[in-house]
Amino acid sequence: MAEIKNGKIKFSYESILNDLFEFHSSFKSCKDAYFSQNCRKMFQEIQELLVISIISRVIFIGNDFNHFGSIVAMHCLNTASKPKFRFNSEFYEASEFYDYVLPRKRDDDTLFILLSKSGQSKIVTKIVDQLHLLKIDKKLMWFVTNSPESINAKHFGFVFPTYVKSEIVHGTKTFQNTVFILYLISQLLLGRDPLNEENSELFENMAQDLSNYKLKHLEISKKVIEFLGKKFKFLYYISRGVSQSTAKNSALLSISLFNIFSESISLGQILPRSIEVSSDNVRCLFLINNENGEFMENLPSDINAISNNLGRTILITNNNNLASSVENNSLVLPIKYHCDLFALSPIFESIIIQSILIEYVKSKELII
């Protein structure tokens, strides 16, 4: 239930938790919508456009947490083997794009992909107005939004709704659906069919796995809170690859919604600094998905070094071997999940972290 206190709406623990755990049905609704006939027709039109276009650059422009989802698409584009199409790709926060990158003359070889939950924030409207003024081809303007009927949407050639019906905590469900849609878009840009039968089965299994997490979230969250304790003052989100999108979004949520001072930092940045920032007040969440690469061999020693220097560390991973390798370290608590498409790992990572954060806040009696 929600109550009004000092003129502001204050939501209860139960209402936030119920809203949060609609993520699996929200994801499934989004998935089902994109496998509909209408979306298949839109994707076919996009595939035909890419064959005949002169696009050489793709720019992702995001507002708030949407900005972080672009990391997934960029990672897919930059690490794909044998793509049908190749583009120079960039991503910017909306105000940064408006101030420094927004074209001042006609640009016919750039694809602009804007992300906005409301679809009508002032900065997004200014960007759309400038692109419209330059007579940019509508088909080179794509829009990922939860408001496909917004006034800005009419200026875009292709609109990708996120299909989130309601959201109490900003971005907790829209983030996951945005990541999913950006993955679909990245596959289109690589010249692949993201709506193939194999993906359909994988996405359906994901929806089921997300639903199953509801049954064990409380047990996992309580174990994490007991392990971390309640007296820490600083939380590092350490990540690599697509997991950086989760880390950045989680740091934003921690600071703005849960009053935990946090920082998102990459593995390469934290290792040289680990001794310098060591403190009893520091805790870490290490996010690593099941990527392939030589660096995976060094991860156990890296994680041990971080935990020894920084403090207690939660390892969130879908790599069973990695989780097993640190089980004997009393300063590391591994949390495992299953995701066959590592590019979509942020969906699972973010849900695990959100459920931990809400239980942590409740344990501190900041909500009831």
Q: Kindly state whether residues 191 and 242 are assigned to the same domain.
A: no
> According to the model, what pLDDT value does residue 6 have?
45
Q: Kindly state whether residues 247 and 340 are assigned to the same domain.
A: yes
> According to the model, what pLDDT value does residue 245 have?
95
> According to the model, what pLDDT value does residue 198 have?
94
Instruction: Please determine, for residue 294, whether its predicted confidence score (pLDDT) is greater than 70.
Output: no
- Report, as an integer, the average pLDDT of 118-147: 94
> According to the model, what pLDDT value does residue 361 have?
85
> According to the model, what pLDDT value does residue 287 have?
95
Average predicted confidence (pLDDT) for the chain? 89
Contact 179, 69 (CB under 8 A): yes
What range defines the domain where residue 91 resides?
A: 22-208
Q: How far apart are CA 317 and CA 157, in angstroms?
A: 38
Q: Kindly state whether residues 142 and 220 are assigned to the same domain.
A: no
Least confident of 56-70, 281-295, 339-353: 281-295
| 281 CB-side CA count, 13 A | 6
Instruction: Please determine, for residue 55, whether its predicted confidence score (pLDDT) is greater than 80.
Output: yes
Q: Kindly state whether residues 97 and 166 are assigned to the same domain.
A: yes
> According to the model, what pLDDT value does residue 80 have?
87
Q: Kindly state whether residues 231 and 259 are assigned to the same domain.
A: yes
171 inside domain: yes
* Greatest mean pLDDT range, 19-23, 32-36, 251-255, 276-280: 32-36
**Residue 9 phi, psi dihedral angles, 5° rounding:** -80, 125
- The fraction of the chain above a pLDDT of 90, given in percent, is 58
Q: Return the amino acid letter for 272.
A: P
Six token digits for residue 236? 């590092």
> Could you tell me the sign of the dihedral formed by the alpha carbons of 253, 180, 147, 88, in that order?
positive
Contact 305, 271 (CB under 8 A): yes
pLDDT tens by residue, 108-124 = 899 999 999 988 889 99
> According to the model, what pLDDT value does residue 273 have?
59
Instruction: Please determine, for residue 4, whether its predicted confidence score (pLDDT) is greater than 70.
Output: no
What are the residues whose beta carbons fall under 8 Å from the beta carbon of 348, sequence distance 6 or more?
Answer: 209, 210, 213, 318, 337, 338, 339
> According to the model, what pLDDT value does residue 275 have?
54
> According to the model, what pLDDT value does residue 1 have?
46
Number of neighbouring beta carbons within 10 Å of residue 336 = 15
128 inside domain: yes
Instruction: Please determine, for residue 180, whether its predicted confidence score (pLDDT) is greater than 70.
Output: yes
- Number of domains within the chain: 2
Q: Return the amino acid letter for 179.
A: V
Q: Kindly state whether residues 181 and 234 are assigned to the same domain.
A: no
What are the residues whose beta carbons fall under 8 Å from the beta carbon of 155, sequence distance 6 or more?
Answer: 128, 131, 132, 138, 141
CATH number at 123 reads: 3.40.50.10490
Six token digits for residue 1? 């239930």
- Report, as an integer, the average pLDDT of 93-114: 93
User: Between β-strands 8-11 and 2-5, what pairing exists: parallel, antiparallel or unpaired?
Assistant: antiparallel
pLDDT tens by residue, 192-228 = 999 999 999 999 999 899 888 888 999 999 999 999 9
Question: In whole angstroms, what separates CA 358 from the centre of its chain?
Answer: 18
12 inside domain: no
- Report, as an integer, the average pLDDT of 252-258: 81
Q: Kindly state whether residues 190 and 279 are assigned to the same domain.
A: no
3 inside domain: no
Please report which confidence band the pLDDT of residue 230 belongs to, taking 50, 70 and 90 as the band edges. confident
Q: Which of these three, 208, 237, 264, is where a domain ends?
A: 208
Instruction: Please determine, for residue 93, whether its predicted confidence score (pLDDT) is greater than 60.
Output: yes
11 inside domain: no
- Report, as an integer, the average pLDDT of 328-355: 93
Q: Which of these three, 183, 208, 233, is where a domain ends?
A: 208
Q: Return the amino acid letter for 190.
A: L
> According to the model, what pLDDT value does residue 274 have?
56
Q: Kindly state whether residues 154 and 231 are assigned to the same domain.
A: no
Report which of 96, 77, 66 is spatially closest to residue 245, judged by C-alpha positions: 66
Please report which confidence band the pLDDT of residue 362 belongs to, taking 50, 70 and 90 as the band edges. confident
Tokens 């910017």 locate to 92
